[in-house]
C-alpha cells in the first residue's frame, strides 16, 4: 500500500473498529449487569410480597395463601417459580407455576440476606435464595427458606434486543465516521496534491517553481525543492555561460596562431605557439574548474575546517620554503565549513596560494562566528603582508565569468574560482586591506 491517504484511512479504521468494539462490549456488559440487578430486585420484591400475603395456622406458623400476589405464580410455565421450605421440611410449598420443576438444594445463608445467582440448567434460570426466622405463638423461631426463580429467556431477549440496537447504531456511527474521516483525510492531503500538481506544471514548463501558498508543515519541503530547482537552473545557466566564455576566450589565441600560421616566418610561428598554447591551457583549466564547481549538488555535507587548512599550509610551506613564510591559524579544530571537502580544498587552496605568492613574510588566518536564531554566520579571514590588491581592480578580479586573458596581471585565476565556489554555497568573498597593508580575503558563509 503506497498511498499515504490509504494508509492513514486503514490505520484510523482499525483504531475506530477497536474502539467501537471495546465500547460495544462495555455497553453490552453494563446493560446485562443492570438487567440482572433489576431482576434481583424484582425477585426480592416477590419474596416481600409473599411474606405480606402470608397467613398463619392455629399454632402461629407461616402458611402461604391460595390467592397469590403475582398472577404468573398461578400459571404453569409462566417463567416465575417459587418454593418455600420450612425447617427440617416441616413445611413445603410450591407455586402452581412450578409444577414439574425442581429446585436446587438450598444452601445455608444468614437470615435476611438474599443470594442471587445464575443456574446453567436446561433451560437456564436466575435464582434468588432468601432465609428468614418466623416466631410462632409458642415463641419458637422457625426457619423458612424461599427460592424464587425466573427463566433467563426474558432477560436474554432484552439483552439480544439491546445488542441489535447498539450494533445498528454503532455500525451506522462507524460508517458515518469513516466517511467523515475519508473526507477529512482528503481535505488534509490536498496540499500534497497541490504540490504534486505544481511539480507536474514545472515538468511541463508551465511554471518555474513551487509558488504556494502551502501549510507551514510543508514549507521546508517546498523550500528545499525550490532551492534544488533554482540550483539546477543556475547550474545549467553556468554551463552555458562557461561554454560561451570558453569559446570567446579562445578566439584571441586562435586568431594569433592562425595569423602566425598564415605568415612565412617560422620563428614568429614558434614564438606564437610557445606563448599561446600555455595561455589556452590556462583558459581551459580555468573554465573546467569553474564548470566542475557549478555542477555540484545544492545540499552538501559539513566539513571540518582545521584539518583542510593544516594540510594546505603544510603543502604550501614546502612549495614556498624559500620565502620562509610565518603563518598563524586561529581556528577551533571542531569548526565546520558548510560544504564538501573538495570544494573547501579548492577554494582555500586558491586563496592561500595567492597569499603565499604575494606575502612578504607572514600570513594570518582567523574566523569570526556569529550565531542568531539557530543560524551560524562564519567570516573566514586570510590576511597577508604583501602588496595587496588595488581597490579599482578588486571587483574585476572576483567577477564570475571573467576571462583569464583579461585578469589582472600576476593575479591568476585563483580568486575568481574561489569566489565562484563561495557563491555556489550562498556565501560571499570580499577583498579588503589587511592591517599590514597587504590583501585581506574575507569569506562569509552561513552554517
Residues 142-177: pLDDT tens digits? Answer: 889 999 999 999 999 999 999 999 999 999 998 999
440 neighbors 391 (Cβ within 8 angstroms): no
Q: Which of 71-85, 96-110, 113-127, 250-264 has the lowest mean pLDDT?
A: 250-264
Question: What pLDDT was estimated at residue 373?
Answer: 63
Cα gap 366→348, rounded to integer Å = 13
Question: What pLDDT was estimated at residue 165?
Answer: 93
Give the torsion sign (CA, 121, 123, 124, 130).
negative
Residue 113's nearest CA partner among 44, 34, 63 is 44
Question: What pLDDT was estimated at residue 234?
Answer: 75
- Exposure b/e, 125-143, CB count within 10 A at least 16 = b: bbbbbbbbebeeeeeeebe
Cα gap 270→82, rounded to integer Å = 134
Give the mean pLDDT of the chain: 83
> What's the full length of the chain, in residues?
447
Q: Report, as an integer, the average pLDDT of 240-248.
A: 73
Helix (H) or strand (E) holding 98: none
Q: Report, as an integer, the average pLDDT of 122-131.
A: 91
12 neighbors 174 (Cβ within 8 angstroms): no
What is the chain's alpha carbon radius of gyration, rounded to the nearest angstrom?
A: 50
Question: What pLDDT was estimated at residue 3?
Answer: 77
Question: What pLDDT was estimated at residue 29?
Answer: 94
Instruction: Kindly tell me if the per-residue pLDDT of 36 is higher than 90.
Output: yes
Instruction: Kindly tell me if the per-residue pLDDT of 301 is higher than 80.
Output: no
Residue for grid cell 491517504: 5
335 neighbors 379 (Cβ within 8 angstroms): no
Cα gap 188→131, rounded to integer Å = 67
Question: What pLDDT was estimated at residue 406?
Answer: 42
141 neighbors 133 (Cβ within 8 angstroms): yes
Phi then psi dihedrals of residue 329, to 5 deg: -115, 115
Question: What pLDDT was estimated at residue 431?
Answer: 92
Residue 62's nearest CA partner among 1, 141, 169 is 141
Please name the residues in contact with 220: beta carbons below 8 A apart, sequence gap of 6 or more: none
Question: What pLDDT was estimated at residue 168?
Answer: 92
DSSP class of residue 258? H
Helix (H) or strand (E) holding 148: strand 141-151
Strand partners, 376: 371
Instruction: Kindly tell me if the per-residue pLDDT of 18 is higher than 50.
Output: yes
Residue 149's nearest CA partner among 129, 123, 131 is 129
CATH placement of domain 303-446? 3.30.565.10
Q: What is the CA 250 to chain-centroid distance, rounded?
A: 54
Cα gap 70→62, rounded to integer Å = 19
CB count within 10 Å of CB 318 equals 7
Which tens digits make up the pLDDT trace of 245-296?
677 667 767 877 787 777 777 887 788 788 778 878 877 876 776 666 555 5
Give residue limits of the domains in the chain: 4-158, 216-294, 303-446
Cα gap 259→385, rounded to integer Å = 43
> Which position has the higher pLDDT, 89 or 315?
315
Give the torsion sign (CA, 330, 334, 335, 337).
positive
Q: pLDDT above 70 covers what percent of the chain?
A: 91
> Which position has the higher pLDDT, 7 or 29?
29
Question: What pLDDT was estimated at residue 447?
Answer: 66
Q: Report, as an integer, the average pLDDT of 384-405.
A: 73
Q: pLDDT above 90 covers what percent of the chain?
A: 23
Instruction: Kindly tell me if the per-residue pLDDT of 446 is higher than 80.
Output: no
Instruction: Kindly tell me if the per-residue pLDDT of 84 is higher than 80.
Output: yes
Question: What pLDDT was estimated at residue 382?
Answer: 94
DSSP string, 28-44: HHHHHHHHHHHHHHHHH
Which tens digits make up the pLDDT trace of 333-380?
888 888 778 788 888 888 998 899 899 999 999 998 887 766 778 899
Q: Report, as an integer, the average pLDDT of 419-438.
A: 87
Q: What is the CA 447 to chain-centroid distance, rounded?
A: 24
Record the pTM: 0.52
Question: What pLDDT was estimated at residue 105?
Answer: 80
CB count within 10 Å of CB 395 equals 10
Question: What pLDDT was estimated at residue 129?
Answer: 93
Question: What pLDDT was estimated at residue 128?
Answer: 94
Instruction: Kindly tell me if the per-residue pLDDT of 297 is higher than 60.
Output: no
Cα gap 191→64, rounded to integer Å = 81
Amino acid at each position: 500500500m503506497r498511498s499515504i491517504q490509504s494508509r492513514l484511512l486503514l490505520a484510523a479504521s482499525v483504531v475506530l473498529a477497536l474502539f467501537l468494539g471495546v465500547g460495544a462490549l462495555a455497553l453490552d456488559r453494563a446493560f446485562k449487569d443492570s438487567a440482572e440487578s433489576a431482576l434481583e430486585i424484582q425477585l426480592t420484591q416477590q419474596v416481600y410480597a409473599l411474606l405480606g400475603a402470608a397467613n398463619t395456622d392455629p399454632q402461629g406458623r407461616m402458611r402461604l395463601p391460595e390467592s397469590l400476589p403475582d398472577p404468573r405464580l398461578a400459571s404453569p410455565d409462566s417463567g416465575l417459580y417459587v418454593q418455600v421450605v420450612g425447617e427440617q421440611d416441616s413445611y413445603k410449598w410450591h407455586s402452581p407455576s412450578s409444577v414439574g420443576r425442581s429446585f436446587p438444594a438450598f444452601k445455608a445463608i444468614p437470615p435476611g440476606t438474599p443470594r442471587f445467582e445464575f443456574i446453567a440448567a436446561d433451560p437456564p434460570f436466575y435464582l434468588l435464595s432468601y432465609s428468614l426466622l418466623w416466631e410462632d405463638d409458642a415463641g419458637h423461631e422457625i426457619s423458612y427458606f424461599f427460592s424464587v426463580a425466573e427463566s433467563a429467556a426474558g432477560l436474554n431477549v432484552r439483552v439480544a434486543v439491546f445488542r441489535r440496537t447498539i450494533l445498528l447504531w454503532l455500525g451506522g456511527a462507524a460508517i458515518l465516521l469513516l466517511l467523515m474521516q475519508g473526507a477529512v483525510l482528503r481535505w488534509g492531503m490536498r496540499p500534497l496534491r497541490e504540490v504534486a500538481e505544481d511539480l507536474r506544471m514545472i515538468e511541463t514548463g508551465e511554471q518555474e517553481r513551487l509558488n504556494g501558498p502551502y501549510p507551514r508543515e510543508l514549507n521546508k519541503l517546498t523550500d528545499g525543492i525550490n532551492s534544488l530547482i533554482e540550483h539546477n537552473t543556475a547550474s545549467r545557466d553556468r554551463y552555458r555561460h562557461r561554454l560561451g566564455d570558453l569559446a570567446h576566450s579562445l578566439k584571441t589565441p586562435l586568431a594569433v596562431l592562425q595569423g602566425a600560421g598564415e605568415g612565412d616566418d617560422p620563428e614568429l610561428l614558434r614564438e606564437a605557439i610557445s606563448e599561446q598554447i600555455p595561455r589556452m591551457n590556462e583558459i581551459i583549466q580555468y573554465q573546467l574548474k569553474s564548470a566542475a564547481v557549478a555542477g555540484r549538488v545544492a545540499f552538501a555535507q559539513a566539513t571540518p575546517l582545521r584539518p583542510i587548512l593544516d594540510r594546505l599550509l603544510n603543502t604550501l610551506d614546502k612549495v614556498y620554503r624559500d620565502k620562509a613564510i610565518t603563518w598563524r591559524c586561529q581556528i577551533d579544530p571542531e569548526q565546520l565549513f558548510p560544504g564538501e571537502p573538495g570544494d573547501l580544498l579548492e577554494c582555500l587552496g586558491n586563496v592561500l596560494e595567492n597569499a603565499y605568492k604575494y606575502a612578504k613574510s607572514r600570513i594570518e588566518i582567523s574566523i569570526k562566528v556569529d550565531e542568531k536564531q539557530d543560524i551560524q554566520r562564519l567570516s573566514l579571514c586570510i590576511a597577508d603582508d604583501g602588496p595587496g590588491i588595488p581597490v579599482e581592480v578588486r571587483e574585476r578580479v572576483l567577477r564570475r565569468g571573467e576571462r583569464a586573458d583579461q585578469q589582472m596581471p600576476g593575479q591568476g585565476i585563483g580568486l575568481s574560482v574561489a569566489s565562484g565556489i563561495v557563491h555556489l554555497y550562498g556565501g560571499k568573498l570580499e577583498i579588503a586591506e589587511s592591517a599590514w597593508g597587504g590583501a585581506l580575503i574575507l569569506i562569509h558563509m552561513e552554517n
